[in-house]
Chains A and B, each alone.
Chain A
């Protein structure tokens, strides 16, 4: 089968053999009201209120949100503004932990009998795409009632990240259980799990677990970035091309992350919503990288302290992987979001200044979607919107491969993002 372009990245996955460890309970958590792709939630608690784990503290204002739950039990101390890594400012609820982790009485395993139940459960549990995207899972379920294929994304193609890998190695049955549950409720006959071959243990354990279920298969994929991008994953696992302007749901395909599937399974068993998650803490400034299970809203400094981060040498703090993650401006303020899969603290590295494009075409050979970043760069420089549209600039998913390979060190991905914005404004 034809494969899309991909680039080989240094994987640096030092934590892939380290079991997930639980972080000691933080003294306080700060929970922003926007931890998904959509609109912010509205706080439903006041300062001095007592909250329990799993209690709703932020309710959606419209369809573009799912509830946000308290991740520790304790007292609400303040509701203040919080600046997210992408620059959005949203309300944020600070809860001082009482150390008991009392679970809310409202947390009961849901009744899951049909499609509507699943959509509702995904909504009530605050389920979002666990790989950093933050897409609302319930909307993915609701997008079509005629799914024919479930693609489960276990690629984890970004360097450093191992949270999904550990999940598949440690609890393959949770992932398979979630897949089987979704298949049953949405009446999907077939599921394929795409895993990169740099995770042989995960492939083996997941294949073993999948054997018990009908219709689930594991597809090994070469470790080429961006293997985990939705369109790339769908094409490489089942050969379907999602056309421009259409979604995967239009093609009858439901694409979910392994973490999302495992979470939904656990939710179906315990009824505890998305209040904790596993985060890979790594990077050159981190002394002992690890995968930590932390409550949502834990201050990042707690994680960095736990992993003996060298603050004096830290010059960059990333929410997410090094290719698509966002830089965090202020380490003291930042907290772990529910869709965040990694926290990378890195020593400073000066990138060379960009120079003129020599038209070598390396960016085109790197682009998984076969776009022409150098032509987009040139057209954007001339503010030539017509050419930008002809070049299908809007297709770019901002994987960053073009910037990574550019010998002239041009920030191509950034330029393409700006070009997309210019087209959208037009």
Chain B
């Protein structure tokens, strides 16, 4: 007779896996990525390929050098690389794209401990690094129709129709122009329950509300810039955002408010990346303040109240 397996319960497992989750995210990113490549041509496709493969290669190398279990097969590095690529302008030199991608994995992912231990979204941080280092190349876009170089995106420029914004016929970063693709991907992730709809809804909702109050064109504001990509694919990142629904709501609201402030009062061309990173930094704190209330749990009385009560009782006694 065979030696019997003595593992602890449960003795059956579900079929989910990290790589399956990440592959779904990659799939969800594809429509917007492909639309971007169609709009901007071969160079933008090369940018996406290079950022993705650099991320994968760097992850594998890091695991080898740091003597960690090899995690390249979980596809999380590919997701980071692809998202980073999608936030870059179509004509960015490949070298810079590669630098950004490698930095995202090394500095912002592996040095923090790898998947699940990151503090800031690696793709967002990689983008920010490139923005502050190579601002000249990070703020040049191209009109996909006329191929004319522009230093403006529809955020500042007037004239793009809603249809242009939806389909990606505007100047902008590779993966950010096609709003339809991003929405499709985001809805797919929500329906497969890979991401919670709470964060994107809070993010987009608070931003839309503020834009409305501020008297801006709400739909154009929502569809332009990196807002949709950030709301569905960065603000929903697992390890850099709070775990609970209430936490996610606070996180999304914060992102929306910050994005609005930076877009309209800040000096930067784009606000979402900053907003996401700032909220990422606040995430551990939000997480601690928004824990779940377990079923039937008896929550401890707040010590301050107790002290007050005992003080009052002591005063009464005296």
Contacts and interface: CB of A to CB of B under 8 A. Distances in A.
On whether the two chains bind one another, the answer is: yes
Contacts of A368: 295
B186 to A, nearest CB: 17
Interface in B275-297: 291-297
Contacts of A357: 116
A392 interface: yes
B16 A370 contact: no
B12 A360 contact: no
B192 to A, nearest CB: 12
Contacts of B69: 355
Contacts of B148: none
B18 interface: yes
A392 B4 contact: no
Most buried by B among A4, A324, A357: A357
B71 interface: yes
Interface string A364-379: 1100111110110000
A159 interface: yes
Contacts of A356: 71, 113-117
Interface string A325-348: 111111110000000000010101
A370 B293 contact: yes
A77 B13 CA distance: 42
A244 B296 contact: yes
A409 B2 contact: no
B239 interface: yes
A418 to B, nearest CB: 10
A244 B297 contact: yes
A375 B294 CA distance: 13
Given A314-B1, A404-B12, A358 B18 contact: yes
Nearest to A312: B2
Interface of B: 1-2, 4-14, 16-18, 20-21, 69, 71, 74, 76, 113-117, 193-194, 196, 238-239, 243-244, 291-298
B1 A311 contact: yes
B297 A395 contact: yes
**A-side binding surface: helix, strand, loop or mixed?**
loop
Given A331-B1, A395-B294, A407 B9 contact: no
Nearest to A232: B295
A407 B21 contact: yes
A326 B5 CA distance: 11
Nearest to A400: B10
Interface of A: 4, 7, 9-10, 159, 231, 235, 241-245, 311-318, 322-332, 344, 346, 348, 351-352, 355-362, 364-365, 368-372, 374-375, 390-392, 395, 398, 400, 403-409, 411, 413-414, 417
B5 A348 contact: yes
Contacts of A372: 243-244, 291-292
B76 A325 contact: no
Most buried by B among A231, A355, A395, A409: A355
B8 A413 contact: yes
A201 to B, nearest CB: 25
B1 A374 contact: no
A361 B296 contact: no
A414 B18 CA distance: 20
B10 A404 contact: yes
B10 A315 contact: no
Contacts of A325: 9, 11
A374 B18 CA distance: 15
Contacts of B294: 244, 369-371, 391-392, 395
Contacts of A328: 4
B295 to A, nearest CB: 4
Contacts of A318: 11
A322 B10 CA distance: 6
Given A317-B4, A356-B71, A364-B243, A323 B9 contact: yes
A314 B8 CA distance: 17
A404 B243 contact: no
